[in-house]
A and B are shown apart, each in its own frame.
Chain A
């Protein structure tokens, strides 16, 4: 299902910017037109019969809501989003009276615009939204969630783990680097990841160890050291508990294949 969009504003920079503010194509728009005044807007509206139109409240001397009222009279089924530098009650009220679906203020918040457009697609146009999740988005190997969904601070902590997991790392060490109470850091980390820092670190180390077990011929003791385990007993116990198999058993079939 494809949609048509009309953007009406008397400022050419804004028209250009609005075309780029959202990824209209991915939302399903195959045609995006712009108009700089009432006459042009009228012509374009009649010609392309847009599904959604973004209207500035003040287009020269004309008022967006007045134009919309006229469009309503000639039977256009377009859904409108008002965008204005003003947030005076009177403008908002008039916009709502003529049936505008949303009233956004300048400078436009990308997220708000996205939400407003998506809402119209789903509720008024009966469309569906594209699958979320950028295929290019990188996922955390332990949590299996995109890094983007977590706070910058958590990302920083994850980065520290990924860099320093091989050394004697702990929550205390991370908190020290932030010069911050380790309880606070622990809470922040837990809220974003739903894992304790120590649990995350352990899982990350074991995953790294597994990579090495599977991908190299290095001895277990060497791998344990490489991923930050000093105590071999712990390494074996944790590895077995997590994967249900010991490092050597994990490697055996490979060797058997080779054999």
Chain B
């Protein structure tokens, strides 16, 4: 309790010292200004013309003293500038009192924006009343400019109370008043209390004590005849120090905070869980996202799950990168190497030399096979992935001709393709793999006739392409399995230019319009049946 009173006292003293230093600095400014008048000869002359004279006399003297071409210094302008420096409203008015009562008293009154000058004001004018609720007067005695030992008159500076003391209105005190012997200025608080304080604060440089449950501090100014008195009620002091009060309030607050904290944590966890589940769902679709774990989350269970999930996604993505993307890139690189690094000129020139030697030896079959082989490699390496079906058929027949050359005369092929089909766009290099499939599974070197027939018919509503061979049949069960795997949605098996690869690429190119099926022939062997619907509005993706 005592410490609270001490705090209050020191606060009061601090405020008063602030006030005093403010006043002191204003007085200092005024002193400097007046001294400044005496230091500037021209200004002093103009001041002398103004001081104790009527406006007419002032103007006349000014005109007489001013030389041609010389700048007129105006004392009035000068003091105005001083008074309103930095837009301050420190002075309510400033009056000039000559020693001789016969001479004129001039007053400069400062209003909000403007200032007016009044002359010949009687000495008893209300303007000169020293009332603390309006202003505090600082009187500056003047000495004669010609003889510094002679008195000359005085300037009274009226410093506005509200300007001087406004700082205290924002203080912690309940009441704050400025008093002198017969008037008072209430800065803060009620008039009634101020009256009581006014009565109390009449003597002593510094008073302190209790006044009807109110703690009072009072200070007398060193510069002016006024006191500053401030009060604060004892109850307020007591309340501000009530331990029980604070404990109750504090506990309640703490409880509330905890509730909020728990609610927020749960909410945050729920959101975090939602993000984890969303990430898992994305991962199901092959999109691997990272959950950004807030630092404070990383230690609870959800944080652990999230960080493990992040690890898992990262590793899966890396695996996919290495297993799929990188290998794909590898294949592309190998292809580029085939196209560029192995000097194709060397290959084709060598083939031409082999062909030439065969021709010279009249091995025409060999010569023709060599030129077909060269053609085949050229066509495969050529970059355009989309070609007319007729061109694709040429690739196939070229290959079949080479295979015929390689066989012991027991391989036969026949191709018949309607013209409309030959003009159809298709992806490059899918017919040869189908034929290769025959040589892998259907061809029998001991058979007299190994046969591949390729038929393409322009039928109503669809194009039908059949690869029919007379090789081995496939057990029905196994056939169903192959067909199911063929049309299944699984990804293309890597490193396999087999049926699935062909299906995958054609499906990609023709979309839903395309269908491929393997059937057993009645007689022997299998047929690969390909249907492409005409005018199908399916999701055709151009490669």
Set B357, B367, B374, B523: member contacting A181, Cβ < 8 A: B523
Contact partner of B374 among A11, A18, A20, A107, CB < 8 A?
A107
In the bound complex, residues from chain B placing their C-beta under 8 Å from that of A21 are 356, 359, 367
Inter-chain contact A107/B360, CB cutoff 8 Å: no
Say yes or no: B368 contacts A110, CB within 8 Å. yes
Instruction: Name B448's closest neighbour in chain A (CB-CB).
Output: A177
Complex Cα gap A153–B375 (Å): 24
Least CB separation from B346: chain A residue: A85
Which residues of chain B come closer than 8 Å to A151, judged between CB atoms? 414
Binds A, one of B160-168, B315-323, B347-355, B385-393: B347-355
- Using a CB-CB cutoff of 8 Å, which residues 71-106 of chain A contact chain B? 85-87, 105-106
A16 at the B interface (CB under 8 A): yes
Shortest Cβ gap from A91 to chain B (Å): 11
Render B450-463 as a binary contact track against A, CB cut-off 8 A, 1 for contact: 01010100000000
Q: Are B468 and A181 in touch, CB under 8 angstroms?
A: yes
Whether A180 touches B352, Cβ cut-off 8 Å, given contacts A16-B360, A109-B371, is: no
Contact partners of A87 in chain B: CB under 8 A: 378
Asked if B524 is an interface residue, CB under 8 A from chain A, the answer is yes
Nearest chain B CB to A90's CB is how many angstroms away?
Answer: 14
- State the main secondary structure of chain B at its contact with A: helix
Interface contact B359-A179, CB-CB below 8 Å: no
B-contact 0/1 string along A128-162, CB 8 Å cutoff: 00000000000000000000000111001000000
A20 CA to B364 CA, complexed, in Å: 10
Q: Which residue of B lies closest to A177 (CB)?
A: B449
**Residue from A15, A18, A109, A179 within 8 A of B449 (CB atoms):** A179
Indicate whether A107 sits within 8 Å of B355 (C-beta atoms), given known contacts A86-B345, A177-B449.
Answer: yes
Is chain A's interface secondary structure helix, strand, loop, or mixed overall? helix
Does A67 belong to the interface (CB within 8 Å)? no
Is the CB of A116 closer than 8 A to any CB of chain B? no
Contact with B along A167-180 (1 / 0, CB 8 A): 00000000111111
Residues 165-201 (chain A) with a chain B CB within 8 angstroms: 175-181, 184, 187-188, 191
- Report the interface size for chain B: residues with CB under 8 A from the other chain: 44
Cβ A178 vs Cβ B449 within 8 A: yes
Q: How near does chain A come to B60, taking the closest CB pair, in angstroms?
A: 108
Query: Is residue A13 contacting chain B, with contact meaning CB distance below 8 A?
Result: yes
- Asked if B186 lies at the interface with its beta carbon under 8 angstroms from chain A, I say no
Cβ distance B147 to chain A, nearest Cβ, rounded Å: 114
Q: Does A253 contact B (CB under 8 A)?
A: no
Q: Inside 8 A of A245's CB, which chain B residues have their CB?
A: none
Can you pick out 29 interface pairs between chain A and chain B where the beta carbons lie within 8 Å of each other? A11-B349, A11-B356, A13-B353, A13-B357, A13-B360, A14-B356, A15-B356, A16-B357, A17-B357, A18-B356, A20-B362, A21-B367, A58-B345, A85-B347, A86-B344, A105-B348, A105-B378, A107-B351, A107-B352, A107-B370, A107-B373, A109-B375, A152-B412, A153-B412, A153-B451, A179-B524, A180-B449, A180-B468, A180-B470
A-B pairs, 9 with minimum CB distance: A17-B356, A179-B524, A106-B352, A85-B348, A107-B374, A85-B345, A107-B351, A179-B470, A107-B352
Q: A85-B344, A180-B523, A181-B521 given; name 4 further pairs at CB < 8 Å.
A: A21-B356, A85-B346, A106-B349, A108-B352
